[in-house]
Structure 1
Amino acid sequence: MAVGTIEHLAMLRALELARRGPAGINPQVGAVFLSPEGEVLAEGWHRGAGTPHAEIDALVRIAPDAAHGSTAVVTLEPCNHRGRTGPCAQALIDAGVARVVYALDDPGELSGGGADRLRAAGVDVVAGLAADEAALLVGPWLTATRLGRPEVTVKWAQSLDGRAAAHDGSSKWLTGPEARADVHRRRAEAAAILVGTGTLLADDPSLTARRGEVLYEHQPMPVVMGHRPVPSDAAVWRHPVSPAIYATHDVSAVLTDLHDRGVHSVFVEGGPTVASAFLAAGVVDRMLVYIAPLLVGGSRMALTDIGVGSLAQAQRLTVRERVVLGDDMLWVAQRDVGAQHEGGSS
């Protein structure tokens, strides 16, 4: 059966509800239940690890037997495993739900497969409604679930001729206020923000996300990697979230540990050495390159060695966005899908 207008509107509402839940170790999920006549019976969303999933959060608001013959509109495929909560697919079957419309397949090895379980029980299942919108909402969680590591965004600012700083090392402020405000907004969307000890010792950054002088409600976990010790009076120790310090240059080890901590997205904002290390490791999902209309010259390039020995080995990119920010330009890019598959690690 085709998806109707009422179900489409219900999915948009489910996505709106999903955004109320916390972004973290679990995906943000929303659900809307419709009666056979198309009336809204109940709404729900996932409120965090260990709490009822969105479907159950909605079901408990429906009178006994009232869900029989209903349609469940959910932003993610109902789960098919028992963790801290039971399988939602079975709960929908037990409630007598006749139809399930969802946006995204669950990529988890254990949690996926709910749609097959529903179909086997005779439930009409439709997948893919508003999938693009749902993927934007839970993109980092999807990446982390699929790859077993956080989604990685590497950001750097450079002059038009590719320099991150002048000959004397000065780089503040390379870009203008509009670009800096955009960086802080994007920091606030990440679970963690990472720099190397070189940047920390040179700039003593706070690693907070700010709107002017006011902190965003959500603050990314500050992460520092490198062998040099972090001074006891460094600004990072005054961050609202306790920092994670890694005395290593092993990118994979850091990402693995952050994934184990439930971190699904990392905003890498170190200097050229750290940015280049992540690019060389092949674990970068997105690049944010802020380009200022300046000519600086000198040797302080925005990137160093990323493992490219010839033009044939260059990392081919797909540009997703070009954004004008005052006098500056932001390029949002990712590695070509074919290149990612060939590299095998991103």
Structure 2
Amino acid sequence: MSTTYVYIGTPYTSTTYYTEMPDSSSQGTPPSPYSPEMKVLGRFTTTNRLPANLSTPTSIAPAPEGANLMNDWQFNDGVIEYTKNNSNFTPLGTQGSPTISGATVTTDNLGNIVNYFFMMQSPQAPITVGQIFSSLQLSKIIWGNGEAIQYRATCIFPFPNGTCNASYVTAASPDDILISHNSTEAIWSSFDTLPDTGEAVSGTASTAIANIAANDGINGVPATLGSGANAIVAMQGTWPSGISLNADTGAVEVSQLVAPGSYVVEYQICDFKSPSACVTSSASLTIAPPTVTPPTVTSAPTPVPTLSECMLISLSALVAGIGLTGFLKRRSRY
């Protein structure tokens, strides 16, 4: 079972931004192409949950900069998207600590992220001196809680792993923007999901799956719905007519009109305390043909042969004749 960690930032309604450092800072909403309603959204996957009780900041970045625990990642600052295919994390030692890389975390006793530092750059390394690049930083280990977005920076000098340092936004790079955003309410959520399976019979309304979230986990504990819920479920995409999801119980209901066959449906499961933090999972349904019971055949009784009226009269005459002959023979003896 893989684990997905999801980051939800807060809107850029109050930021400090720079169009030329060090003396050109401004307060308020960020300049174009950014806008106040934008926020940082991100996620990464691991083969298993992150180790529990990491009290010391630990690099989880791809080797050789970390423990190589991240399978994939996708972060978006509203304009630039950073993925495994177009970005790299900054290396160990570049943030003033030999243990902190651009993908560093501490965790609680369930393997949830507590403190963190992420710094990624795009395009993918190597970035050379003078090259234009962008970077995204998320922090709750060093430099307080917040995000730093550098858009179209100019590389001053490269780091050993091919990422780059761009300390200042300069007049030489007029498109360069540095946004500093205090994001104290940013939330990390974690999801452990497994595909579901269910069965039903066509022609009979039934519940194919009692609770679609029963084998899923939220933040290191089993997902629960209804009263005291820690999760929210909803249909993802278009489901076949006659198949529905009860969001309160997680039940997948199948009407009697659903034709026999195999169906795959997708559903979304979200963190109750951070409803924008969601992942998608699936369920496979097998709808069997209705069972046909052959009719019970009752054998009719074998009819007893009967004689017609004429035959009965003839038979009676014959019997009477035989009787009279016997009587006359007996009299002749006397």
TM-score, normalised on structure 2? 0.25
Name whichever structure is richer in helix by fraction: 1
Larger Rg: 2
Name whichever structure is richer in strand by fraction: 2
